[in-house]
């Protein structure tokens, strides 16, 4: 059984004021506070009104957050005493180090937070582009995700960055996603995972995009993908359909032709690049991934990374 939160706080990187049931983490992005919950104790002076359960610890921690330059804390929910905390800055630096150790400079980072700063997505674009016919320059991406409220375990996924009509779009595979239990492994193992993806990216990305570009979706496949998107939101289906029509216009007087897998993929990720809800963004990426023609070698490497 896992050791209670209070006994693991310092090793998880939190500053503990145990006498207050208060545990704090600060970095450049936010300040997070966890507080031990207790039952109400209304009037200790009038003991005849006390109940045996008054003032008892509850096996839950309340979460509060604020931006570094704010004074006010926002209540963000609760986690159990078994919650495994990892700081965003700690996690991001671990991935940066792994990328640098395989000799691949980070070109830029795009970091996104939810409104209360308890969910993070950091997209590290690596300076190692491949020029792909029909797609232009495509770059590898490492996508780091984390949460402070237990809704998303720390993870690393692999993806690509490219441009659609002048807009940069970033996509992360769900296949190959490494969870927290693997990310906290040795630096050597983390660097090895990054190196494996970089190698398969260089060797397979042109094949993946070319095959996807040359693969025309059947009507059933196209409608099935749109049904998945409609399950996420009807308006999202309409907007992605509009993007797809823009990318694949019909000749005058003719019905639109069926899109290629690559066109469908780009329409979804172009829309998802503006999606502020990180949960929805991930669901849209899963829908986009489902239409790709992923080469066997790439599939095998991503599957191995996920299971390692």
**Token pair for residue 303?**
């599957």
135 and 167 share one domain: yes
Give dist(CA 308, CA 304) in Å, integer.
6
Look at the chain and report how many structural domains it folds into: 2
> What's the domain range around 14?
5-80
Tell whether the model's pLDDT for residue 180 goes beyond 80.
no
Q: Which of 156, 173, 206 is the last residue of a domain?
A: 206
What's the pLDDT at 181? Answer: 65
Domain boundary among 155, 186, 206: 206
Distance (Å, rounded) from C-alpha 67 to C-alpha 48?
44
Does 239 reside within a domain?
Answer: no
Same-domain status, 75 and 92: no
- 48 with 131, same domain? no
153, 188: one domain: yes
**Where residue 48 falls among pLDDT bands split at 50, 70, 90?**
low
Look at residues 153, 181, 206 and tell me which one is the last residue of a structural domain: 206
Q: Is residue 172 part of a domain?
A: yes
Q: Using 50, 70 and 90 to split pLDDT, how confident is the model at 45?
A: low
Same domain, 110 and 127: yes
Question: Could you tell me the pTM of the whole model?
Answer: 0.90
Which pLDDT score, from 0 to 100, does residue 1 have? 62
Q: How far apart are CA 183 and CA 204, in angstroms?
A: 24
User: Looking at the domain assignment, is residue 148 inside a domain?
Assistant: yes
């Amino acid at each position: 059984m896992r050791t209670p939160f209070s006994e693991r706080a310092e090793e998880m990187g939190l500053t503990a004021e145990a006498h207050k049931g208060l545990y704090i983490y600060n970095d450049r992005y936010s300040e997070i506070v966890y507080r031990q919950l207790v039952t109400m104790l209304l009037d200790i002076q009038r003991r005849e009104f006390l109940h045996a359960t008054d003032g008892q610890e509850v096996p839950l921690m309340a979460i509060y957050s604020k931006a570094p330059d704010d004074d006010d804390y926002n209540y963000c929910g609760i986690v159990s005493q078994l919650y495994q905390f990892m700081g965003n800055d700690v996690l991001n630096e671990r991935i940066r180090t792994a990328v640098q150790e395989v000799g691949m400079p980070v070109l830029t980072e795009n970091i996104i937070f939810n409104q209360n700063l308890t969910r993070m997505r950091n997209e590290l674009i690596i300076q190692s582009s491949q020029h792909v016919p029909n797609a232009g320059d495509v770059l590898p991406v490492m996508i780091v995700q984390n949460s402070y409220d237990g809704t998303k375990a720390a993870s690393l996924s692999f993806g690509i960055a490219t441009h659609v009509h002048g807009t940069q779009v970033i996509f992360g595979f769900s296949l190959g996603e490494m969870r927290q239990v693997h990310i906290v492994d040795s630096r050597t193992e983390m660097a090895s995972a990054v190196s494996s993806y970089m190698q398969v990216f260089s060797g397979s990305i042109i094949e993946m995009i070319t095959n996807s570009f040359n693969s025309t979706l059947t009507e059933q496949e196209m409608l099935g993908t749109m049904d998945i998107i409609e399950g996420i939101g009807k308006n999202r289906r309409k907007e992605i359909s509009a993007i797809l029509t823009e990318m694949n216009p019909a000749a005058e007087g003719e019905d639109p032709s069926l899109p290629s897998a690559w066109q469908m993929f780009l329409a979804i990720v172009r829309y998802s690049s503006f999606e502020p809800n990180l949960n929805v963004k991930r669901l849209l990426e899963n829908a986009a991934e489902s239409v790709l023609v992923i080469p066997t070698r790439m599939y095998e490497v991503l599957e191995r990374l996920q299971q390692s």
